[in-house]
Amino acid sequence: MDLPQTPSFRLDGKRALVAGASSGIGLGAAVALARAGAEVTLAARRAAPLTELRDALAAEGCAVIAAPLDVADIEAAAGFVASAGPFDVLVNAAGLARHSPATETTAADYDAVYAVNTRGAYFLAQAVAKGLIAAGRPGSIITISSQMGHVGGIDRAVYAATKHATEGMTKSMAIEWGPHGIRVNTLCPTFIRTPLTEPTFANPERLAWIEGKIKLGRTGTVEDIMGPVLFLASDASALVTGTALLVDGGWTAD
């Protein structure tokens, strides 16, 4: 009997770019990809945390490069990808949140959140896809979206809007780039304990609301995201594109 072979989760020989790698989900993604054998370029605005992460991963024998980069500067980001790529894997984890009641949203906050979460993510994905297409190589583009790309939330009208937009652009990019072997997906976490979310968890009323919505009864950790990122980056998800992988503890189940 010829038994089927389990696809590999290894990324040996692959080059990955992780935007937003300096902390939180982006840091976890970078660690997961590097430990799976990819050469990982760590990108974020803050140079010091990138250097610290690079040195820690290099001490484990991982191949890593640190590259300070602001995804909101789309021209600079595109130039970097054109010169340093092509990248087989992109994890678009750079994100910004400025929460407020919808009646109090300022134009400045709206523009700032969109500049990173939607505009920056869109054009970074475009730059990576262009490099892959020119090189005739397949690839995997993963954008860290959110469960808020599928539901709404208190004080999160702008944030949810950017994530809903991310879901739409992902589906369209997957349709266009599928013939080139480029897969495009989102990973949609629930509330993950990171420096970005700590102010939310510090509010007892808001924390009770969150834990009441998560069916598994707990908030998420960065480790909860690392396996799903590796799945979407690797051949284990070779037929997965144009979709959202919800890592939400059952939040969106009802």
Q: What is the CATH number for 49? A: 3.40.50.720
Report in angstroms the alpha-carbon separations of 128 from 53, 205, 216, 244. Answer: 23, 41, 36, 20
Q: With respect to residue 114, please indicate whether it lies within any of the assigned structural domains.
A: yes
* pLDDT (0 to 100) of residue 198: 82
Q: With respect to residue 130, please indicate whether it lies within any of the assigned structural domains.
A: yes
Q: With respect to residue 223, please indicate whether it lies within any of the assigned structural domains.
A: yes
Q: With respect to residue 140, please indicate whether it lies within any of the assigned structural domains.
A: yes
Cis peptide bond N-terminal to 86, omega within 30? yes
Q: Which residues contact 180 (CB under 8 A, 6 or more apart)?
A: 129, 132, 133, 138
* pLDDT (0 to 100) of residue 136: 98
Cβ(87)–Cβ(58) below 8 Å: no
Q: With respect to residue 105, please indicate whether it lies within any of the assigned structural domains.
A: yes
Give dist(CA 226, CA 192) in Å, integer. Answer: 12
* pLDDT (0 to 100) of residue 44: 95
Domain of 227?
15-245
pTM for the full predicted model:
0.95
Count CB atoms within 10 A of the CB of residue 23: 18
> SS3 sequence, 53-95?
HHHHHHHCCCCEEEEECCCCCHHHHHHHHHHHCCCCEEEECCC
Q: With respect to residue 69, please indicate whether it lies within any of the assigned structural domains.
A: yes
* pLDDT (0 to 100) of residue 143: 98
Token pair of 190 as six digits = 């629930």
* pLDDT (0 to 100) of residue 196: 74
**Exposure string over 134-145, b if 16+ CB within 10 A, otherwise e:** eeebebbbbbbb
Q: With respect to residue 254, please indicate whether it lies within any of the assigned structural domains.
A: no
Structural domains of the chain, count: 1
The parts of the chain modelled with pLDDT lower than 70 are none
User: What region does 72 belong to: left with phi over 0, alpha with psi -120 to 50, or beta?
Assistant: alpha
* pLDDT (0 to 100) of residue 199: 82
Q: With respect to residue 51, please indicate whether it lies within any of the assigned structural domains.
A: yes
* pLDDT (0 to 100) of residue 73: 96
Residues with active-site annotation = 159
